[in-house]
Amino acid sequence: MSRSAPVRSIEFHPFNLSALRVVLDRADPAGLADELHKMLGGRPDRFSGEAAILDFSALETLPARIDWNGLTSLLRRYCLQPVGVYAVDEEHAAAARNKASLALFEHLDATPVSAPAPRASATTVSPFSLAAPDSASPPQADLPFEPSAAAPLVAGASVAPTLYIDRPVRSGQQVYAHGGDLVLLAGVSPGAEVIADGNIHCFGPLLGRALAGARGNAQARVISTHFSPELVSIAGVYRTFEQGVPEAFAARAVVVRMKSANGSGQTISIDPLQLD
């Protein structure tokens, strides 16, 4: 019996990380601890072990020394798992790597920092803001990688499972697609609520409430073939239809997305889709 391919005991695959970007505008753990306590009311269960990247881009000048151990243990106390830093110079990056095992991230293909995370949006003046979970490219490492090796998908943490709902979502029901997209194949009734951390795709009438990007992903969209909802929301920015859904897209196919308006404000735009 011949073995087709040698089995390696260790393999390397490129992988995009989905992480929470923790935007700081001060670097002392004591001050940040007070701020976090105020923001989260001492609730340590606000997070559930998400990977976090410390983003120092909001600081004009970095202090000469940063207490890396203090910062990481503070975040761990709130159930965040620090994995990297962003926007620090080489000296600081080396210290972060040596003292707290944090990797340096050179690019974050990120949403603007002004994107308010849901529920944290009221604290924009705080030195601490939690930006959306982002796709961050890890530093390019020149590791030998053989694409021909039939690579099994590494447990797709970045590819969150899509939730499919085959039956109508009825009034009073709530469906939440944690971490991923939500595909609704039989419509959403008035008084029902559909939520996704990713996008919402609705085939059939969308008559209830639809909230995409529930954990702050401003890139998320709501796509509907028959649009007449009570409310739509992208990353915490919502729109209701007290005067009825405008005729231009009522009961039509539309896409709803976040649009950055002039200045700091963000609005939702609704555009008709041409299906045929």
Q: Which amino acid is at 173?
A: Q
Q: Which is nearer to another protein, 31 or 172 (CB)?
A: 172
Contact with another protein (CB under 8 A) among 67, 189, 241, 260:
189
Q: Does 231 bind another protein (CB under 8 A)?
A: no
Q: Does 185 bind another protein (CB under 8 A)?
A: no
Q: Which is nearer to another protein, 142 or 166 (CB)?
A: 166
Q: Which two tokens stand for residue 186?
A: 């039989």
Work out how close the CB of 170 gets to another protein at its nearest, in angstroms, rounded to a whole number.
Answer: 3
Q: Which is nearer to another protein, 92 or 209 (CB)?
A: 209
Sign of CA dihedral 14, 58, 128, 131: negative
Determine the interface stretch with another protein among 52-60, 109-117, 188-196, 210-218 (rule: CB under 8 A).
188-196
Q: Does 70 bind another protein (CB under 8 A)?
A: no
Q: Does 182 bind another protein (CB under 8 A)?
A: no
Contact with another protein (CB under 8 A) among 70, 118, 138, 191:
191
Q: Does 173 bind another protein (CB under 8 A)?
A: yes
What are the φ and ψ backbone dihedral angles of 107, each rounded to 5 degrees? -130, 145
Determine the interface stretch with another protein among 2-10, 51-59, 162-170, 209-217 (rule: CB under 8 A).
162-170
Asked whether the beta carbons of 212 and 183 are under 8 A apart, the reply is no
Contact with another protein (CB under 8 A) among 34, 43, 167, 273:
167
DSSP structure string for 124-140: TTSSEEEEEEEEEEPP-
Q: Does 190 bind another protein (CB under 8 A)?
A: yes
Reported residue count of the chain is 276
Q: Does 168 bind another protein (CB under 8 A)?
A: yes
Work out how close the CB of 126 gets to another protein at its nearest, in angstroms, rounded to a whole number.
Answer: 40
Work out how close the CB of 272 gets to another protein at its nearest, in angstroms, rounded to a whole number.
Answer: 21
DSSP structure string for 171-217: TT-EEEESSS-EEESS-B-TT-EEEESS-EEEEEEE-SEEEESTTS-
Contact with another protein (CB under 8 A) among 171, 264, 267, 269:
171
67-97: burial string, b at 16+ Cβ within 10 Å, e else = bbebbbebbeebebebbbbbbbeeebbebbe
What are the φ and ψ backbone dihedral angles of 98, each rounded to 5 degrees? -70, -40
Helix (H, G, I), strand (E, B), or coil: what is residue 246?
A: coil
Q: What are the E-state strand segments in 41-124?
A: 50-55, 80-86, 103-105, 107-109
Q: Which amino acid is at 170?
A: R
Q: Which is nearer to another protein, 127 or 191 (CB)?
A: 191
Work out how close the CB of 106 gets to another protein at its nearest, in angstroms, rounded to a whole number.
Answer: 48
Q: How far is CA 72 from the centre of its chain?
A: 21
Applying CB under 8 A, which residues contact another protein?
167-173, 186-187, 189-192, 204
